[in-house]
Amino acid sequence: MKETVKIKSKKLNVFYGEKKALSNINLEIPERKVTSLIGPSGCGKSTFLRCLNRMNDSIEICKVEGQIFVDEQNIYEKNLDPVLLRARIGMVFQKPNPFPKSIFENVAYGPKIHGLANSGDELNNLVEVSLKKAGLYDEVKDRIDEPGTSLSGGQQQRLCIARAIAVSPEVILMDEPCSALDPIATAKIEELIDELSKNYTIVIVTHSMQQAARVSNQTAFFHMGSLIEVGKTEDVFSMPKEKKTQDYITGKIG
Amino acid sequence: MGFWSFLIIFCFLSFYIHWYGTTKALKINEDITKGSKLPSLPSYYGTYSLLWLLLPSSIILICWFFFKPYIIDIFLKESIPLNLVDNFKGNPSMLIDTIKATNPEKIFPGTNPLIIDSAAYYQTLTTNSDSYVFLLVLVVGLISSLVSLRKVSTFFRARQAVEKANINLLIFCSVIAIITTIGIVFSLIFEAVRFFERVPFFDFLFGLAWSPQTAIREDQIASQGSFGAIPIFTGTLLITLVAMAVAIPVGLLSAIYLAEYARPTVRKTFKPILEILAGVPTVVYGFFAAITVGPFLKDFVSSLGLSMASESALAAGGVMGIMIIPFISSLSDDVITSVPTSLRDGSYAMGATKSETIKKVILPAALPGIVGAILLAISRAIGETMIVVMAAGIAANLTANPLEAVTTVTVQIVTLLVGDQEFDSAKTLAAFALGITLFFVTLLLNLYALKIVQKYRERYE
Ligand SMILES: Nc1ncnc2c1ncn2[C@@H]1O[C@H](COP(=O)(O)OP(=O)(O)OP(=O)(O)O)[C@@H](O)[C@H]1O
Ligand SMILES: [Mg+2]
C-alpha cells in the first residue's frame, strides 16, 4: 500500500534576520504516521516544526522562503489564513502550558472559538471525548472545574494534548513533549502517541533516540540547518546511509 | 568642648581605632610563634573595634538627645531661689518657661534680676552639660573599643561579628521607618479619640449634614456645627467613581495596545512619556481642571439644556482620571507583558486570533494584577487633594449628581486646618477623625491590592 503524503516541504529556507536557520529542506511527511525529527541542539528542528503551522509568523525577524504543502495546498500562499490553518494543525509544546483556567475550560477553549459545539451538552461531550482520547479522563473526571495548573506536569501535558485534539486537527505537532516529564509520564505520552497515530498525522521533535525509535515510523535527521537523512525509522537507526547520522546516533556528535 | 571640636576629635578617634585594630591583627598574624593565623582579614578586626566605639557613643548621644530637656529642667528647678518662686505670678512651669525664654545678654528693662541670674545659669548649664556628655562619649567609646580589642585572637571571627552588626543596622533602620508610621497612626488615633469625646462616633460616621463652623469664642453667635461625614464620604466616592470611569477604560486599553500591538520602538517611546505624565505636579492638573476643563464642561452641559455648577465633581473627577491613566496603564502594561509567551503560543496554536487570545487568555491571566493596579489607583484617587480643592469646591453637598459641587475627605482636612485654629475645638479635631478614616480605607485597599498582586505573582513563578 502506498502511503499518502500529508505534508511536503519544497526548497524550504528559513532565516532569522541575516542568519540562515534552515536551508533547502525537502521533506515528505506521510499521513497517519509518526514522523520524528532528531538532531543536535540548534540544528533547526523546532524551526521546521513551527513552519508547519506558521507559528513563526509571530517572530518578526523570521523569514520563510520556499513552499510547504498540506494536502497539496501551499500554506505560505498569500491569501491563506494562518488562523484557520492552525485549527487544522495542532501543536503541543515542550513545556506544558495549560491556560490559567479550569480543566474543562482548557479543553473547551478551541471548540468555543471555532464554534464546534452547538449546545452545552455537545460541548460537555466533546470535552469528555477529548480527555478520554488523551487518557486523562479517569484521572480528572471528579475535578474537572479545578484549574489546569493544579495538575502534575505529565497530566498537564496530556491536558495540552486533549486541548489540541478537541478541535479535531488533522496533524499534531509536538516539540519535545516529554522533555519536562519523568519516565512514567513519558511512557504514558508515548503510548498515547501510538494510539493517536491511528487517526492523526504526528510530527514529533525529540532528543531521545530511544523515543524516536519507539514511537515513530519515519525519522528525519537534521544537522546545522540541513536535512541530512530521512527514512524508515528502523533503517535510519540500523543502517544509516550518511556518516553524520551514524556519528549522531552512536553519540559521536551532539 | 563644643560640638565641632567634639566631631573632629571623634573622627580622629574613629580612624585611629580602626587603624589600631588592624595593625594589632597584622602583628598577631606576623607573630609566627602563635602558630596559626587569625581567621578573618586584619581590617575586619579594625572595623570590629570601630563598631565598639560607635555603638556606645551613639547610644549615649541618642539618650542625651531625648532626656536632655528633662535633666536640665530638674537642675534648673533645684537652682531657682525660693523667694523667686513665691513672687512669681503664675504657675511654676510658666516660671521655667520664662527663664528659658530670657536671654541674659539682651534683657528687657525691668526684668527681675533673679530671673536674669537663673537664665544665665540655664545657659551655662546647657553648654556645660553638652561638653560633659561629649567628653563622656569619647571616654566610654575609647574604653569599650580598647576592651573589644582584647578579644582579638585566633579563636575570634571578626568577619562574622561585623556581618551580624551590619544586619542589625539594617534591621534598626527598617524598624525606625515602621515605628515612625506607627507613631503617626497613634497620634491620629489619639486626636481622633478627643474628637469623638465631643461628637459621638455614630453621628460622625452616619450623620447627613456637615458644617464644621463652631463658635471660637464663647460670646460668638455661631451655629453649633454639625459633623455628619456622609456628604464628604459620598463626595469622595462620587469623584473617585468619575475618575475611575475615565482612567480604567483608557488606561487599560492603552496598556493592551502598548503591550500587545505597539511596535517595540513605539512602546519604548510611549511608556516613558506616560510615566512622566504621572510625575506632573497635581496643582498643574488642578488649574487645568479649574480653568480649562470646568468652564468647557459647563458650556457643553448648558448647551444640552442642563445646568451645572462651575465647580463640579465631573470636572475634578475627569481630570483626576486623566492624572491616574498613566498609573493604571503602566502597571497593567507590566502585568500584561509578564504573562508568559508560552500561553500566547498555546492560544495561537489552537487557531485563535490575536484579539481572541487577548480577551480569553491574556486578560484573564493578567486580571489579578490589573485589579491590583486599579485598587492602587483608587487609593491614589481617594487621597488626591489639590485637583479637588481647585475644581470641585469645598461645599459638602449630599448628592449623586456629578454636575454639582461636592467635596472630599482630603479637601475638608485642608480647609479645617488652614487659617486660624484653636487646637481643641471640635472643628480642628474633626480633621483627625477624617484623617484616620482616610488612613484606614486606603490601608485596607492597599493591603487588598498587594494581596491580589502577590497571588498573581505566585501563579507564574
Ligand atoms: N526567535 C529566534 N530568533 C533568532 N534566532 C533563532 C530564534 N529561534 C531560533 N533561532 C536560531 O535558529 C537556529 C535553530 O533553532 P531551533 O530552535 O530550531 O533549534 P532546535 O533544533 O529546535 O534546537 P533544540 O534541540 O535546542 O530545541 C538556532 O541557531 C537558533 O539560534
Ligand atoms: Mg527546539
> What digits encode the pLDDT tens for the residues B38-80?
888 889 999 999 999 999 999 999 999 999 888 888 888 888 8
Atom of ligand 1 nearest to the CA of A222: 21
Residue type, B144: S
> According to the model, what pLDDT value does residue B307 have?
79
Distance of alpha carbon B218 from alpha carbon B152, whole angstroms: 73
Question: Which phi and psi (to 5°) does residue B393 adopt?
Answer: 90, 180
Instruction: Answer with the residue of higher pLDDT: B150 or B112.
Output: B150
**Model confidence band, residue B300 (pLDDT cutoffs 50, 70, 90):** confident
HSE-up (13 A, CA, CB side) for residue B328: 29
Mean pLDDT confidence for A130-157: 91
pLDDT digits (tens, 9 = 90+) for B355-370: 999 999 999 888 888 9
> According to the model, what pLDDT value does residue B214 have?
59
Mean pLDDT confidence for A134-156: 91
Distance of alpha carbon A113 from alpha carbon B176, whole angstroms: 56
Strand segments, DSSP code E, in A31-161 are 34-38, 62-70, 73-74, 89-92
> According to the model, what pLDDT value does residue B32 have?
64
**Exposure class string for B65-79: b at 16+ Cβ within 10 A, else e:** eeeeeeebeeebeee
* CB-based contact A93 B349, cutoff 8 Å: yes
Distance of alpha carbon B235 from alpha carbon B398, whole angstroms: 7
Position A59 pLDDT exceeds 80: yes
Residue type, A189: I
Q: What DSSP element (H or E) covers A105?
A: helix A103-114
> According to the model, what pLDDT value does residue B215 have?
55
User: Does the CB of B357 have a partner CB in chain A at under 8 Å?
Assistant: no
**Model confidence band, residue B420 (pLDDT cutoffs 50, 70, 90):** low
Determine whether the shortest distance from the Cβ of A41 to ligand 1 is under 6 A: yes
Residue of minimum CA distance from atom 2 in ligand 1: A16
> According to the model, what pLDDT value does residue B398 have?
82
**Which phi-psi region, left, alpha or beta, contains residue B103 (left: φ > 0; alpha: ψ -120 to 50)?**
beta
**Model confidence band, residue B456 (pLDDT cutoffs 50, 70, 90):** low
Distance of alpha carbon B375 from alpha carbon B248, whole angstroms: 11
Distance of alpha carbon A119 from alpha carbon A126, whole angstroms: 11
R_g over Cα of chain B = 32
**Model confidence band, residue B85 (pLDDT cutoffs 50, 70, 90):** confident
Per the CB < 8 A criterion, the answer to whether B294 and B395 are in contact is no
Predicted TM-score of the model (pTM): 0.74
Q: What DSSP element (H or E) covers A16?
A: strand A5-16
Q: What percent of chain B has pLDDT over 90?
A: 32
What is the residue whose three cell numbers read 543502517?
Answer: A239
CA B307-B311-B315 angle, 5° bins: 90
Q: Provide the mean pLDDT of chain A.
A: 92
Distance of alpha carbon B1 from alpha carbon A233, whole angstroms: 94
Atom of ligand 1 nearest to the CA of A50: 18
Three-state secondary structure call for residue B394: coil
Distance of alpha carbon B137 from alpha carbon B53, whole angstroms: 9
Position B409 pLDDT exceeds 80: yes
What domains can you pick out in chain B, each with its CATH number? 3-156 (no CATH), 226-460 (1.10.3720.10)
User: Does the CB of B364 have a partner CB in chain A at under 8 Å?
Assistant: yes
* CB-based contact A99 B343, cutoff 8 Å: yes
Q: What percent of chain B has pLDDT over 70?
A: 94
> According to the model, what pLDDT value does residue A99 have?
93
> According to the model, what pLDDT value does residue A88 have?
93
Per the CB < 8 A criterion, the answer to whether A158 and A130 are in contact is no
Helices (H), B288-362: 294-303, 313-337, 341-349, 354-357
For residue A122, give Cα distances in angstroms to A128, A165, B350.
10, 16, 19
CA A220-A221-A226 angle, 5° bins: 110
**Model confidence band, residue A102 (pLDDT cutoffs 50, 70, 90):** very high
Q: Provide the mean pLDDT of chain B.
A: 86
Pocket-testing residue among A12, A36, A45, A95, ligand 1, by greatest number of atoms within 8 A of Cβ: A45
Mean pLDDT confidence for B215-226: 58
What is the interface pTM, i.e. ipTM, of the complex? 0.92
* Of A83-92, A199-208, A214-223, B422-431, the least confident: B422-431
Mean pLDDT confidence for B339-343: 91
Q: Which of A213, A153, A214 is nearest to A185 (CA)?
A: A153
> According to the model, what pLDDT value does residue B228 have?
84
Mean pLDDT confidence for A20-44: 94
Crossing angle, helix B313-337 and helix B294-303, to 10 degrees?
110
Residues whose CB is less than 8 angstroms from the CB of residue B13 and which lie 6 or more positions away in sequence, other chains included: B53, B138, B141, B142
Q: Which residues of B touch A167 (CB under 8 A)?
A: 350-351
pLDDT digits (tens, 9 = 90+) for B311-322: 888 888 999 999
Position A1 pLDDT exceeds 60: no
Distance of alpha carbon B413 from alpha carbon B423, whole angstroms: 14
CA B440-B442-B445 angle, 5° bins: 110
**Exposure class string for B114-124: b at 16+ Cβ within 10 A, else e:** bbbbbbebbee
Atom of ligand 1 nearest to the CA of A94: 27
Q: What DSSP element (H or E) covers A7?
A: strand A5-16
Q: Which residues of B touch A180 (CB under 8 A)?
A: none
Helices (H), B211-293: 230-256, 264-277, 282-287
* CB-based contact B350 A167, cutoff 8 Å: yes
Position B225 pLDDT exceeds 90: no
**Model confidence band, residue B241 (pLDDT cutoffs 50, 70, 90):** very high
What domains can you pick out in chain A, each with its CATH number? 5-249 (3.40.50.300)
Q: Which residues of B touch A83 (CB under 8 A)?
A: 351-353
